[in-house]
Amino acid sequence: MSIRLHGRSVLIRPFRPAEFDVLWANETVDRGEFDAPRSADDTEAMRRVRVRVDGSGTWRDGRFLDLAIEAEGALVGDVGARHDAEMAPPGVFEVGLGLFPDARGKGYGTEALALLTRYLFQDEQAARVQLGTDVENVAMRRAAEKAGYRFEGVMRGFWPVEGGPAHDYALFARTRADHEGRDG
């Protein structure tokens, strides 16, 4: 069964095969100061995006969930979750979000995070859902907080950057106690 999560402004759903071209095009343009664009001729990156689109809507390899974000009838980004039993305890998920430049600042990211997080707690029995972002990525930090995530700290030197020092990342999380409204 494939996942479809309806919100006020967004629909979280599997990618359609034809959307590969739109997603790939957005992977190869300037995506802002926190994520470098992929090279249009990077066949390995293109293959990984194809796998994400083709396996969208169900847990790929039991570890990855990739979904499209649709708003106003158009693809505006992607959201996903990962759980790797070799890297984290049972019930711990990590989420990620990417919005196309024209879709930013409209609340779509916050709503997509909230929908996916609720799904993970209700349908996947999550104990904890977490995300990390560059400490300077104010928009993502704000979206996480609006979606009910709590700031937990900074992972120093977390993200390597070619030709420069590794970036610090802010860690945010929601626990089952947060989800259930208990003081956790």
Give the model confidence (pLDDT) of 78-124 as tens digits. Answer: 999 999 888 889 999 999 999 998 999 999 999 999 999 999 999 99
Q: Report how far residue 71's alpha carbon sits from residue 108's, in angstroms, rounded to the nearest whole number.
A: 8
- The answer to whether the pTM exceeds 0.85 is yes
Residues 6+ apart with CB under 8 A from 163: none
Could you tell me which of 79, 80, 180, 182 has the C-alpha nearest to residue 125?
A: 180
d(CA 127, CA 31): 32
The DSSP output letter for 28 is S
Does residue 34 carry a pLDDT above 80?
no
Residue 92 and residue 83 in contact, taking contact as beta carbons nearer than 8 Å? yes
Separation between Cα atoms, residue 121 and residue 175, nearest integer Å: 9
**How far separated are the first and last CA of the chain, in Å rounded?**
33
Banded model confidence at residue 30, pLDDT cuts 50, 70, 90: low
Q: Which residues pair with 129 in a beta bridge?
A: 93, 174
As a dihedral over the C-alpha atoms of residue 83, residue 86, residue 92, residue 94, rounded to 10 degrees, the angle is -50
CB 169 within 8 A of CB 152: no
pLDDT tens digits, one per residue of 133-159 = 999 999 999 999 999 999 999 999 998
Confidence band, pLDDT 50/70/90 cuts, at residue 26: confident
The answer to whether 22 and 30 are in contact (CB under 8 A) is no
